[in-house]
Amino acid sequence: MKKGKIKFLTYPLVVLFAGMLLAAFVSPTESTNMPENWDIPAKYKEMKNPHAGDASLDRVGKMLFAKHCKSCHGNIGLGDGPKAASMTAKMMPFNDPKFQAQTDGEIYYQSIIGMEEMPNFEKKILEEEDRWAVVNFLRSLK
Amino acid sequence: MKNYILFVLLTVIPFTALFAQDEEEKVKDRPVRAPFASGYLIDNQTTMIPIKGTLEFAIQHKFGTIENGMSDFFGIYAPAANIRLALNYVPFKNFQTGIGLSKEKMNTDLNAKWTILEQTRENTIPVAVALYGVVAIDGRNESAFGTGQVWHSGEGRAVFNMNFADRLSYFSQLIIGRKFGNALSLQTGVSFTHYNMVERNFDHDKIGVHFNGRVNFSPQSSFIFNYDAPLNIQQISEQLQVPDHHQPNVSFGIEIATSTHAFQIYMGNAKGIIPQDIMMWNSNKFNFDNLAFGFTITRLWNF
């Protein structure tokens, strides 16, 4: 390859590399998915948990959490599961008082309906009872 | 044969009594939660069918046998591998249909599964019942079938040209399963396999019994096993003596299930992946040398 040709390639590459480096600084940094980021419809906010404190659902909640939630949210819901590193949003730990201060209906919406990276689970957890079992389990992680 | 009929009757009668007892109950009884994590259980199907509108992609792979030890790293490098890629879709509640391609005999299979009954929590229905059917097309080049000439059973020594129908094989199965508590789910089944064309010393038809299950030992992991036995029934055999080259398929492994995936890694003595191939052509006796590693991965999408 001629010398001139190498120069011809070098400058655009340097500019591209520098551009990428700068872009890394100006791109939005990860944001923690705090409760205030969620736009939860009033219908869900006011939902009452018909299974609050139902100990017979403890195991169901635990099993569903292990199957559907653990890979991102981690073993005890700290947001440190194996898939967490590849996410843009930083997950709020479930033991965070801000998370626990929400109503059961709000947690239901966040867990089952979802938003952006948090998937919708309506077709994976079909029964209302099971969905509330997950909410109950999240409550136990404080 | 009488013994088999007696066996079937003894298995069915107690259940019919249970059905009769519970018909009067009016409270709506819901199906049990997840008797199985996936529709696949190594070489068998479970009574589980995902929610309507689910598309499933399955990858099934079986390596060579472990008999050569380190020289082919327990079959991992062996050329005798078999693989099947399949798509399944659930167009209606509890009804699934699918298509698969497997390397062994270049089989293309079309299959359907219908879960007629789901076991319920209050035992209104004590067992899950499903029907499973597979039609497979042997897609190999004509040269793979020797001269391309066939005899038809019962038509003497006349020779015919092989045609498309000769490539077809059928498998139909009735599956009965029950979840016993949180840790144990078991299934039993009876099947009928038919090949339109077989080698001269084989039978076209095979009746088989199946027994399989899973033992859950953690929220996501289970021990799983299969036992599929082709029965030697002289009354339906075309040979003077039932050929003994049909060997039972024994396989066992571990299953890990997540929200949208199921991973199964196992060892077994059958090379075939589609059920008729296992019921008709498995001649590997169950012993240590004939075991081979295999795995299944499934991925679900909801629409």
Q: Any residues with CB less than 8 A from the CB of A135 and at least 6 apart, and which?
A: A49, A61, A104, A107, A108, A111
* Lowest-confidence segment of A17-21, A107-111, B42-46, B145-149 by average pLDDT: B145-149
Tell me the domains of chain B and their CATH numbers.
22-141+151-302 (2.40.160.40)
Residue with tokens 């399944």: B88
| Contact indicator for B130, B140 with CB cutoff of 8 Å | no
The predicted-structure confidence for A81-117, as pLDDT tens digits, reads as follows 888 888 888 888 888 888 888 888 888 888 899 888 8
Minimum-distance CB partner of B219 among A63, A127, A130:
A63
Alpha carbon of B34: minimum distance to chain A alpha carbons (Å): 11
Is A1 inside any structural domain? no
Structural domain includes residue A14: no
pLDDT score recorded for residue B165: 92
Q: Is residue A24 part of a domain?
A: no
pLDDT in tens, B52-72: 999 999 999 999 999 988 999
Where on the phi/psi map is residue A70: left (φ > 0), alpha (ψ -120 to 50), or beta?
A: alpha
Q: How confident is the model at residue B25 (pLDDT cuts 50, 70, 90)?
A: very low
The CATH number covering residue A98 comes to 1.10.760.10
What pLDDT digit, counting tens, does each position of A12-54 carry?
888 888 888 877 666 555 556 666 678 888 888 788 888 888 8
Tally of structural domains, chain A: 1
Q: Is residue A4 part of a domain?
A: no
Query: Does the beta-carbon distance from B220 to A67 stay under 8 Å?
Result: yes
Q: How far apart are CA A65 and CA A55, in angstroms?
A: 16
All residues at 6 or more sequence positions from B159 whose CB lies less than 8 Å from its CB, including other chains:
B149, B150, B151
Enumerate the residues of chain B whose CB falls inside 8 A of the CB of residue A111: none
Average the pLDDT over B101-129 and give the result.
94
Helix count and strand count (H, E) for chain A: 7, 0
Query: Tokens 């909410």 identify what position?
Result: A135
Residue A7 placed within a domain: no
| pLDDT value at B302 more than 80 | yes
Asked if A62 lies within 8 A of B219 by C-beta distance, the reply is: yes
Determine the Cα–Cα distance for residues B92 and B97; give it in Å rounded to an integer.
10
- Cα–Cα dist B303/B300, whole Å: 10
Residues with Cβ < 8 Å from B222, sequence gap 6 or more?
Answer: B37, B214, B215, B216, B254, B255, B257
Q: A82 is in which domain, residue-wise?
A: 29-139
Is B258–A63 a contact, with Cβ atoms under 8 angstroms apart? no
Say whether pLDDT at B103 is over 50: yes
Which residue matches tokens 């992609």? Answer: B57
To which residue do tokens 């949210």 refer? A73
